[in-house]
Amino acid sequence: MKKLEIGIIGGAGYTAGELVRLLLNHPKTNINFVYSTSNAGNKLHQVHQDLIGNTEINFTSEINKNIDVLFLCLGHGNSTAFLANNSFSENTKIIDLSNDFRLIADKIFEGKEFVYGLPELQKEAIKNAKYIANPGCFATALQLAILPLAANGLLKKDIHINAVTGATGAGTSLSKTTHFTWRDNNFSHYKAFTHQHLGEINQTVNQLQSDFNSEINFMPNRGNFSRGIFATTYTKFEGSIEDAIKIYKDFYKEAAFTFVSDKEIHMKQVVNTNKCLIHLMKFENKLLITSTIDNLLKGASGQAIQNMNLMYGFEENLGLNLKANYF
C-alpha cells in the first residue's frame, strides 16, 4: 500500500508542529503540504525548531485538493470558514482539531457529517467515519475520568473537577498570561465554570447516561509549565474502591492508550506520549479520579493520528509508541 498523502492547514501552531513531528516518523504517511500564509516559503524547521535535520519541507500558500487526509489545525471558528472557501476530493478524509464540529448541533457542515473522535467512547464509529471532530484537550482528560461511571449509570450527584494545563494550551499567540515574567512561579484559574469544553463533556455524559441531570463544576487552571494536563475529579460513589477499580479496568481493558494505575500518578509519566493515566481513591462516600495527559498529544495531535489509524484500519498505536519525559 502506498503511503497516505497528508495535508496540514494552519501549520505554524503547537499542535501542527507536533503533528508534523509524528507524521514524519509514521510509516504510512507522507506530508504533501503544510499550509501557512504567514510562513509561505520558509522551512518548517525555521518555525518548529525541533525539526532541524528531520525535514527540508517548506510552508506553502497553495493547497493540493487531492490528498488522502487533511488535518485542520486552525483556531476555533476558523475551520468552518476554511472549508466554506475550499473544497477537496470526495476521497479526502478530514480531521479537525478545533471545536467547530464537536457538538451534535454543529456536526453536519455542507453535507459533511463529523464524528466525535474519542476512541475510548466510539471506536467503531470512528473506523467508519470520513470526517472527525477531534476532542478538546481538557475534554479528553476529563471525559476519560468519568466515562466508566457514566457508562454504568453511576453518576448520581454533582461532579467537581479541578484541572491544570501547561502554557501550550493557550496556543502560540502572545498574551500577558503566556509571557514568561507572568507565567513563571505563578498560578491562576480562568473561565471558571464556563470553559468551552464543558459542552462536549456534558454531551458525552448524556450520551452514555441519559438521566444525568446534575452539575459538572469545572475549574481550569494555568500551570507554570509548558505542556501536560493534570486533573482531579470527584463525585459521590456508593460502591467500594474495589468496585470502582473493577469498573474502570473493565471499561478500558481494550483501550490502546488509557490505563488505570494502582499507584498514584503524576504528569511526567505521560508528557510526550499519547497516554492517559488514571488513578482512583475512595474517601468516605466520594470517589476521587485523577487523570493526566499531554495536552498536545492525547489532547490534540496524537489523538488525531490515533483517529487516522482507526479510519484506515492501521494498528491503533502505529507511529505513537512514544517515551515519556519522565526525568
Q: Do domains 4-134+300-311 and 137-293 have the same CATH topology?
A: no
- The pLDDT > 70 percentage for the chain reads 96
Q: Please tell me the least confidently modeled range out of 103-107, 181-185, 231-235.
A: 181-185
Summarize pLDDT for 303-323 with one digit per residue, the tens: 999 999 999 999 999 999 999
- The pLDDT > 90 percentage for the chain reads 85
Which residues are known catalytic residues? 137
What are the residue ranges spanned by the domains of the chain? 4-134+300-311, 137-293
CATH superfamily of 4-134+300-311: NAD(P)-binding Rossmann-like Domain (3.40.50.720)
Q: Is the pLDDT of residue 169 over 70?
A: no
DSSP bridge partners of 251: none
Summarize pLDDT for 32-78 with one digit per residue, the tens: 999 998 899 999 999 999 999 999 999 999 999 999 999 999 988 89
pLDDT of residue 242: 98
Q: Is the pLDDT of residue 12 over 60?
A: yes
Q: Is the pLDDT of residue 92 over 70?
A: yes
Summarize pLDDT for 202-229 with one digit per residue, the tens: 999 999 999 999 999 999 998 988 899 9
Instruction: Confirm whether pTM is higher than 0.85.
Output: yes
CATH number of 137-293: 3.30.360.10
Q: Is the pLDDT of residue 296 over 70?
A: yes
**Among candidate residues 241, 249, 244, the one with its CA nearest the CA of residue 282:** 241
Mean of the per-residue pLDDT values of the chain? 93
pLDDT of residue 283: 96
pLDDT of residue 176: 65
Mean pLDDT of 281-309: 97
Model confidence band, residue 197 (pLDDT cutoffs 50, 70, 90): confident
Q: Is the pLDDT of residue 161 over 80?
A: yes
pLDDT of residue 174: 54
Mean pLDDT of 108-133: 97
Mean pLDDT of 294-305: 97
Q: Is the pLDDT of residue 288 over 90?
A: yes
Q: Is the pLDDT of residue 180 over 70?
A: yes
pLDDT of residue 171: 52
Model confidence band, residue 183 (pLDDT cutoffs 50, 70, 90): confident
Q: What is the largest CA-CA distance in the chain?
A: 61
